């Protein structure tokens, strides 16, 4: 049994960061009630910037559910976060039928699933199951993958973070077809988007007539053959959670390969450039959201490994990443900044949310801090 330990100074650092995160989320809901932001512009959440795709609405209530769970049982604080989380979660329900995005895992696992875990009300579970069924409708039989929102011939690495909701729906309902779809999608992604060195491509393009894989591509990365940092973190975390659902050792090996690539290619402080292969002139531009997601993924992966030494290494790495985020990127000393974590990048080629706070970065940062603090 591996012993994971947190130094007292890290505990204090992480608790202070979580208290700051609570204050920022509360203030956001006071300044812009019932608004679901995506990324900041010069530190401000509300602006007219393009969304590109509509995938983030679960993350704000997701943080509220984490704050609610952390509050002492029966406390006013717990009730405050519960009521606010319900208020921000309920409006998402109609999206269980949303066939325009591949992000139903992001939307419902962060919100309805956390709500269901707290209360076990069956109607909440029905919402999650329906979302899983809807996502499964994106399945392309010939290529054996779930298509991205871009087009039926497009597969994204990000979908590895969403396919878990189909595994979940399959487990809850006993629907073997759903499980088969989720499994096939994960194996196809593993085969075509994960490279031999453990790096990943953002997108795969298929021939719709034959189902044949044609080439790797990208939207948010530097080049088709580069490794977009956030995609790498989605793969690390996504293959870890698929291993949790399936216990199929192929997915554990892939999660490890993705983690090892991330760790060996990132700078010593654990926060990578926005693309691992960005040219020298862009290498100072980091993506803190990629780092937060990697930390959250490593904190799950470290417990699943048969080798305790490697598991301990992943734990220590995740803590180092969180320490860097808290010490270098927290917006705590900038009263004009509305986000929690500075230095995120949404879509560099389109110039959206570059060096800003991004809602998924906030969410996975809070999730990772909560996980690290729950250890002992």
| Least distance between ligand GLY and beta carbon 101 (Å) | 9
Query: Which residue, 55 or 314, has its beta carbon nearer to ligand GLY?
Result: 55
CA distance 307 to 34: 46
Query: Which residue, 168 or 228, has its beta carbon nearer to ligand GLY?
Result: 228
Query: Which residue, 115 or 346, has its beta carbon nearer to ligand GLY?
Result: 346
Location of structure tokens 């598991």: 311
| Least distance between ligand GLY and beta carbon 158 (Å) | 5
Q: Are 271 and 229 in contact (CB under 8 A)?
A: no
| Least distance between ligand GLY and beta carbon 52 (Å) | 7
Could you list the beta-strand ranges (E) of the chain. Answer: 139-140, 145-146, 154-156, 203-206, 213-217, 344-347, 352-356
Query: Which residue, 218 or 220, has its beta carbon nearer to ligand GLY?
Result: 220
| Least distance between ligand GLY and beta carbon 228 (Å) | 9
| Least distance between ligand GLY and beta carbon 233 (Å) | 9
| Least distance between ligand GLY and beta carbon 178 (Å) | 23
Query: Which residue, 67 or 239, has its beta carbon nearer to ligand GLY?
Result: 239
Query: Which residue, 29 or 41, has its beta carbon nearer to ligand GLY?
Result: 41
Q: Are 80 and 56 in contact (CB under 8 A)?
A: no
Residues that bind ligand GLY (CB under 6 A): 55, 158, 220, 230, 346
CA distance 12 to 322: 12
Q: 307 Cβ partners below 8 Å, 6+ apart?
A: none
CA distances from 28 to 16, 234, 337 (A): 18, 26, 11
Could you tell me how many helices (H) and strands (E) the chain has, helices first? 13, 7
CA distance 371 to 365: 10
User: Which letter does DSSP use for residue 225 in this model?
Assistant: T
């Amino acid at each position: 049994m591996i012993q994971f330990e947190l130094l007292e100074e890290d505990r204090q650092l992480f608790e202070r960061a979580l208290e700051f995160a609570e204050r920022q989320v509360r203030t956001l809901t006071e300044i812009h009630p019932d608004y679901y932001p995506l990324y900041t512009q010069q530190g401000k959440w509300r602006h007219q910037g393009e969304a590109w795709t509509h995938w983030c609405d679960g993350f704000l209530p997701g943080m509220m559910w984490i704050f609610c769970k952390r509050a002492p049982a029966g406390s006013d604080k717990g009730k405050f976060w519960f009521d606010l989380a319900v208020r921000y979660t309920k409006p998402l329900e109609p999206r269980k039928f949303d066939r325009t995005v591949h992000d139903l895992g992001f939307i419902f696992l962060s919100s309805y699933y956390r709500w269901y875990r707290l209360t076990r009300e069956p109607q909440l579970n029905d919402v999650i199951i329906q979302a899983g069924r809807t996502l499964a409708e994106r399945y392309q039989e010939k290529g054996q993958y779930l298509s991205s929102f871009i087009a039926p011939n497009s597969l994204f690495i990000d979908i590895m973070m969403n396919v878990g909701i189909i595994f979940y729906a399959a487990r809850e309902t006993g629907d073997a077809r759903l499980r088969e779809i989720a499994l096939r999608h994960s194996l196809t992604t593993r085969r075509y988007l994960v490279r031999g060195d453990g790096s990943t491509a953002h997108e795969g393009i298929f021939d719709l007539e034959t189902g044949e894989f044609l080439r790797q591509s990208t939207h948010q990365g530097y080049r088709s053959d580069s490794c977009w940092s956030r995609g790498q973190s989605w793969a690390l975390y996504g293959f870890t959670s698929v291993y949790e659902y399936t216990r199929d050792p192929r997915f554990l090996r892939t999660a490890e390969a993705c983690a090892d690539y991330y760790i060996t290619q990132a700078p010593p402080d654990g926060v990578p450039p926005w693309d691992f292969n960005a040219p020298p002139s862009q290498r100072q531009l980091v993506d803190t959201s990629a780092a937060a997601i990697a930390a959250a993924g490593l904190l799950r992966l470290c417990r699943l490994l048969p080798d305790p030494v490697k598991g301990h290494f992943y734990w220590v790495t995740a803590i180092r990443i969180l320490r860097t985020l808290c010490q270098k990127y927290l917006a705590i000393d900038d009263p004009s900044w509305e986000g929690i974590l500075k230095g995120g990048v949404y879509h560099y080629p389109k110039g959206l949310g570059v060096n800003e706070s991004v809602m998924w970065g906030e969410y996975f940062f809070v999730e990772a801090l909560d996980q690290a603090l729950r250890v002992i």
